[in-house]
Amino acid sequence: MQKSNSPLSSLNELGQSFWIDYIDRDLLETGQLNNMIEQDGLSGLTSNPSIFEKVISTTNNYDIDLKKAAAKNPSGSPQEWFEEVAIRDIRQAADTLKNVYETTNMQDGYVSLEVSPLIARDTKTTIEEARRLWSRVGRNNLMIKVPATEEGFPAIEQLISESINVNVTLIFSLEQYKKTAQSYIKGLSKVPAPNQVASVASFFVSRVDTKVDALLEKINKNTSKQLEGKTAIANARNAYKLFYDFFESPDFLKLKQKGAQAQRLLWGSTSTKNPNYSDTLYIDQLIGTSTVNTIPPATVDAFRDHGQATITLDKNSSANDNTISGLTALGINLEQVCAELLEEGLTAFSDSYIGLLEAVSTKGSE
């Protein structure tokens, strides 16, 4: 099938991979995922507890399978019942994307599954759960999602050293990103065949603007108004500068000679929360080579309709610096904001996971 003329299909030509931030039985079984691969250049899929909670709680797409899982394992926990149906979807998505994985030489074609957010502060259990999920899914184009916490970094290093693909999630700050890249490179240095493992660093975007804009509104100065809606883009673009520092460094170039891939930045949380901003803001302004944008369905539709596919990540370097220095001058500590966002993100995903298990328990027992 011929690719469409949508801006989505142009992202690959500009060096950016388009992944969808969503999973649902309908997406897999109606042929929609296949159509997006063929028409829009879709090359990956991510999931998280909030996505699974929403589709299991608000649709009946999983009701029959959850009842079957409970009947098959009546003494099992809701987590076990959930995994039974979720892993089926993850495997099916991975199989659908297998051709992308092979034709891109393992750069794309990945499906992400997250370890329980309830263990985000436990290094040992995170490693054990990641190994278990990796083995259970049994697909080389799986990525295990691990949060970028202090306890997560040694887990990331260990998993990479075992050739387990990792999607490092909930990155908000430059300091988190530095530790993420360092963990990946350290892990890679222990792998006999570094060309057989891949990772992405999921740098979250829109939530930064939501939190900073609320602080700017309280300050109520002309300067603060001018900074609204600019922090997230500036923060992400500064991370992109660091990406080149890490992956053009002598430490990584030695690994690259053995076929190692750079750990690409993946833009996460790219739906626009403020109705006064463009609904494609966090796509339009973050297009550049060696990146991924994982996009939720509504934003996919918006960008397909009226997005602008052109390189933007290499622009406005001085404007980015002015934005960050402007925040500092107003007394806003971006690192502190990002630390709070990490805690809020962990709490939100944990709450979603608990809600998910409650919905699974109810539906499995009906």
Structure token pair of residue 164: 């387990």
What pLDDT does residue 299 have? Answer: 97
What pLDDT does residue 222 have? Answer: 82
Ordered DSSP codes for 83-116:
HHHHHHHHHHHHHHTHHHHHHTTTSS-EEEEEPP
Average pLDDT over residues 220-233: 90
- Collapsing DSSP to helix, strand or coil, 9 comes out as helix
Question: Which residues participate in catalysis according to the annotation?
Answer: 145
Average pLDDT over residues 237-249: 95
Closest CA to 18 of 29, 2, 3, 1: 3
What pLDDT does residue 6 have? Answer: 79
Residues 6+ apart with CB under 8 A from 50: 348, 349, 352
Residue 329's pLDDT band (cuts 50, 70, 90):
very high
CB 61 within 8 A of CB 25: yes
Q: 137-140: long-range contacts (C-beta < 8 A, 24 or more apart)?
A: 137/87, 137/90, 137/91, 137/94, 137/113, 138/91, 139/90, 139/91, 139/94, 139/95, 139/98, 139/111, 140/101, 140/106, 140/165
What pLDDT does residue 1 have? Answer: 37
Domains and CATH numbers, the chain: 7-361 (3.20.20.70)
Residue 281's pLDDT band (cuts 50, 70, 90):
very high
What pLDDT does residue 316 have? Answer: 63
pLDDT at residue 319 is higher than 90 = no
Dump strand ranges (E) for 149-253: 166-171, 199-204
What pLDDT does residue 3 have? Answer: 45
Average pLDDT over residues 44-69: 94
pLDDT (tens digit per residue) in 85-105: 999 999 999 999 999 999 999
Residue in the structure block whose two tokens are 């975007």: 205
Average pLDDT over residues 180-196: 97
For 18, the enclosing helix (H) or strand (E) is strand 16-21
Residue 213's pLDDT band (cuts 50, 70, 90):
very high
Percent of the chain with pLDDT over 70: 98
pLDDT at residue 184 is higher than 70 = yes
What pLDDT does residue 2 have? Answer: 43
Which residues does residue 167 pair with via DSSP β-bridges, in sequence order?
145, 200
pLDDT at residue 197 is higher than 80 = yes
- Collapsing DSSP to helix, strand or coil, 267 comes out as strand
pLDDT (tens digit per residue) in 110-150: 999 999 999 999 999 999 999 999 999 999 999 999 999 99
What pLDDT does residue 311 have? Answer: 96
What pLDDT does residue 221 have? Answer: 78
pLDDT (tens digit per residue) in 143-179: 999 999 999 999 999 999 999 999 999 999 999 999 9
